[in-house]
Structure 1
Amino acid sequence: MSERLRGFARSMRKAPTKAENMLWQMLRGRKLEGLKFKRQEPMGRYIVDFVCHEKRLIIEADGGQHCESASDRERDLYFRSKNYRIVRFWNDEVERDSDAVALHIIKVAKDE
């Protein structure tokens, strides 16, 4: 993994979006069902918003720039080939109904 990618991930951790911050407050310190998540984690040539390696689960908080994104489809295929599941939430969905988001993450994590 390149130093450039690591540095970019570090800068992303320092300046999260509102939705990313809300998700992190929900996921950090094993608050959600005891699952350990990392944030802005470099994986391969990508940086994922949140990942639980134990459950092979990636959580993404997406803004409008991700709508119908070919690069997101390519990225998802890459992670699926590595046996990771990807769950995407729209930023406004996280901000509007974080309880439903948390319940959905728990459900997906338990559906191994």
Structure 2
Amino acid sequence: MLTLSEKECITLINKGECFHAEVESGSFTVKIDEYSPFVCTAIHNGHRLRDELKKNCKLTDEERLYAEAPYTAEMLSSFPIVLVGNDSRFEYDLNRPKAHSTHF
């Protein structure tokens, strides 16, 4: 698998090239085996959480895994275009009030 910047991924997509890559930040992977009219996403597949946020997270690793969906990428692996999130859903906490999130 390649390691590419987001810009490099977009360049390959604009050229219509197929590729498998992890973005440099490691936040997500892109797999394009052929171009089709739909994209499958596994946005809660990841478990990665920055150390500075772990101290604010009151859940154990096991409790986090219960809320995350670590095998969704495997279920989608046969589809031609797949985007996989590698970060934990608790990295962003977009659907939680700030008082209940890992960000203070």
Higher relative contact order (CA 8 A, sep 6+): 2
Verify same fold: TM over 0.5. no
User: Structure 1 length as normaliser, TM-score?
Assistant: 0.25
Q: Which structure has the bigger radius of gyration?
A: 2
